[in-house]
Structure 1
Amino acid sequence: MTFEDRYGWLDRLLHRTAFRAGTAQHALSDVENILYRDTLSSISVDDPVFITALPRSGTTIVLRLLWNTGRFASHTYQDMPFLLCPLFWDRFSDQFDGGTQTTERAHGDGLQVSGKSPEAFEEMIWKHFWPDAYRGRCIQPWSDDDHDPAFDTFYESHMRKVVAVRRDAPSADLRYLSKNNLNIARLGALPRPLEAGTFVVPFRAPFQQAASMLQQHERFLQLHDDDDFVREYMEAIGHHEFGHGLRPVNFDGWVDDAPEPTSLAFWVRYWIAAYQHVLAHADENTVLLSYDRLVDEPRTALSRLADLISVDPSALTGQADQLRPPRSHSVETAALSSETRRRAAALHETLKQRAPL
């Protein structure tokens, strides 16, 4: 199913209205804080889990595995497009895209989604507070100067709201779960609400992951050419990973002399810069996850992951049969410099050694 099939004229009008109503959504969020004060004050968000990495590393699969345990609350497609005021929108969302009918997502990778599927939407919050960060040709990593107490207050309240929306009973004990690839840009200067969380950072073999990213970039270039709404939608939700809206994170200035993003070298160098940044800022709350190891030894890896994030192991190991090796890409590494190949291979070995699973 294409974007044109999934988002008819009414859905597009609704999304465009919501995308242009950020200030109004924020104001409604303040009203939610007042109307739902008692409910929100009873919800704890002390032990969240944040999944983050470069794209095509297995983040969506890991999100679904954790979501399927029934112990987490996350954003779903049902929260769109009024994501900043989820409690109000929850009253109406079933009338739009809140159903259980599944369709293949835009990436063309076979993953099926419905209104009830978890997905990465919280970057809309970051864009609301830091709009200027997304207006250049790249995104700079967050620094201590980017700390904003207003964001901290809003984000912590928003986590509570997501938990409240996802609970099927007031007594349900759920933990906040986020998939947000751009959070790797914030590992060096975490805002206060994220400091208490556990970060799960998947990675794949560099040339395979880079080839997959290049393929998706080319796919979204075509999708954006075919349908302007696709680009508008992706940029509005903070997905600047591929296509004409691409804005890579400029880790240590690597973008300054980067090759064209239509080359494999661009994505391999991006992989190197990103995971060097991850290693530089990984601490005891960071779980490096080799996706290749996860699919090769699923039960062992899932059991270990359960221990590290304090989840019942059986809730994860029972899903081991859902894991499949990612699609293999034919990669012409001869086009890469020997130095790039060496750096990527050495970094991959370091990541595997540091990864507990």
Structure 2
Amino acid sequence: MVEYSFLDRILHRIALQFTPIAELSFDIDQKAGDHNVEQDRYTRHIFVSGLARAGTTILMRRIYASGAFCSLTYRNMPFVLAPKIWGKVAARSQGDDSLSERAHGDRILVGVDSPESLDEVFWRIFDGENYITKTCLKPHLPAQDVTEKFAAYVSAILNADSDGRRRYLSKNNNNILRLKAIRQTFPNAITLIPFRDPITHAGSLMRQHANFLKQQKEDPFVQSYMTWLGHHEFGHDHRHFQFDREGQKRLSDLAPDGIEYWLEIWRQTYSWLLEHASDEDYFVCYEDLCSDPETWNRLAVICEIEDTDSSAESFVISNAKDDASADPSLLEEVSALYDRLVEASRSKIERSKA
């Protein structure tokens, strides 16, 4: 998140916390000018989605740097459901365009024009009761009227773009809970699902959870802000993905301050994704992105974009040392699953050369 003044925080609370206001902003925005929803439904949009800390943000930013895509940015806040009307207001006030490291402390710099995972607000407002519980987030298949609204929402975002870009780029990790709905709504879109080595990934998740517990204790607005945006990955309002009762039972025996908890989340998430991925869902090995430039080159072909310029952010392996002292059977499970994901990723991306 970017830094917000006291008045900014009040406005965010009004626009995001109160559902009727958010719904009203959407309805008014939809009536503000025409946009071709049906045409936009069949465009080659890209959805980047996976478990948090999988490299979704850096992959999205690398694609965005191509200049071919329109995304929501912090400038769309807080009336994120009204991109056409609020976009005009925000455009008149350029604001502070300086960059600062985001709250994760991972060297990724953000500013008001940085693309970000903001469209989850839509799903929370219009379908939250069907997948958000007090303790977890569950897979859901939104009703047709909701997916039609989402198609209209994406079309409004594209319509508001001053550069006339007609391809939408979304980075939203919760979209793994509604992959079927995304595919049905945008038949020509593709989904990129990054994954990382499970020990490294689980260690990063555990550290970020501790990081946000501390931040939210020092500044309660951080917790409210994350909840409004549907970000429950870390912190005091952490709510894990729940795919079945067996998985819930396994998690109930573990604590978030230990790496086994996050390894179990990793195992459940990517097991479920392997089972439910379609032909237009591409698993992307983050380690391959870092070590083999050809992986990105092939992804660029899949995404139908030119390679980004030399100033684009690089894919870098973390130097953090992670504790691998977990249950041997769990380590064996996640290691085998990682190997399956790597094989699925490499074979499918390799086939794209043809």
Same fold (TM over 0.5): yes
Change (3 A) 1:112 1:173: closer
2:332 — aligned with what? 342
Matched, 1:150 2:137: no
Number of equivalences? 342
2:261 — aligned with what? 266
Matches within 5 A, 1:34-49: 34-37=31-34, 39-40=35-36, 44-46=40-42, 47-49=44-46
Q: Which of 239, 250, 257 is residue 257 of structure 1 equivalent to? A: 250
How many Å apart are 1:42 and its aligned residue?
A: 8.8
| Distance in structure 2 (CA, Å) of the matches to 1:42 and 1:130 | 22
Moved more, 132-141 or 22-31: 22-31
What amino acid is the match of 2:286? Y
SS at match of 1:91: helix
Q: Which of 155, 162, 182 is residue 174 of structure 2 equivalent to? A: 182
| Distance in structure 2 (CA, Å) of the matches to 1:256 and 1:67 | 39
CA contact (8 A) 1:52 1:200 kept: yes
TM-score by length of 1: 0.90
CA deviation profile, 1:211-244 (whole Å, cap 9, x unmatched): 0010000000001111110000000001010001
1:72 — aligned with what? 69
Matched, 1:87 2:77: no
SS at match of 2:295: helix
Change (3 A) 1:284 1:17: same
Matches within 5 A, 1:197-346: 197-253=189-245, 254-258=247-251, 259-298=254-293, 300-312=294-306, 315-316=307-308, 318-319=309-310, 322-334=313-325, 336-346=326-336
How many Å apart are 1:189 and its aligned residue?
A: 5.4
Moved more, 119-128 or 93-102: 93-102
SS at match of 1:287: strand
| Distance in structure 2 (CA, Å) of the matches to 1:84 and 1:329 | 38
Change (3 A) 1:34 1:190: closer
Structure 1: 4+ residue segments shifted above 6 A? none
SS at match of 1:246: coil
How many Å apart are 1:43 and its aligned residue?
A: 5.8
How many Å apart are 1:91 and its aligned residue?
A: 2.0
| Distance in structure 2 (CA, Å) of the matches to 1:304 and 1:79 | 32
SS at match of 1:175: coil
SS at match of 1:243: coil
In structure 1, the gaps of 5 or more residues are none
Change (3 A) 1:248 1:319: farther
How many Å apart are 1:29 and its aligned residue?
A: 2.5
SS at match of 1:244: coil
| Distance in structure 2 (CA, Å) of the matches to 1:241 and 1:43 | 34
CA contact (8 A) 1:53 1:184 kept: yes
CA contact (8 A) 1:77 1:98 kept: no
CA contact (8 A) 1:147 1:191 kept: no
What amino acid is the match of 1:182? N
Q: CA RMSD in A?
A: 2.1
CA deviation profile, 1:43-99 (whole Å, cap 9, x unmatched): 624221100000111101111111111110111011111011111111222466754
CA deviation profile, 1:142-165 (whole Å, cap 9, x unmatched): 2xxx43122112100111111122
Change (3 A) 1:185 1:35: closer
What amino acid is the match of 1:126? W
CA contact (8 A) 2:25 2:79 kept: no
What amino acid is the match of 1:347? L
TM-score by length of 2: 0.90
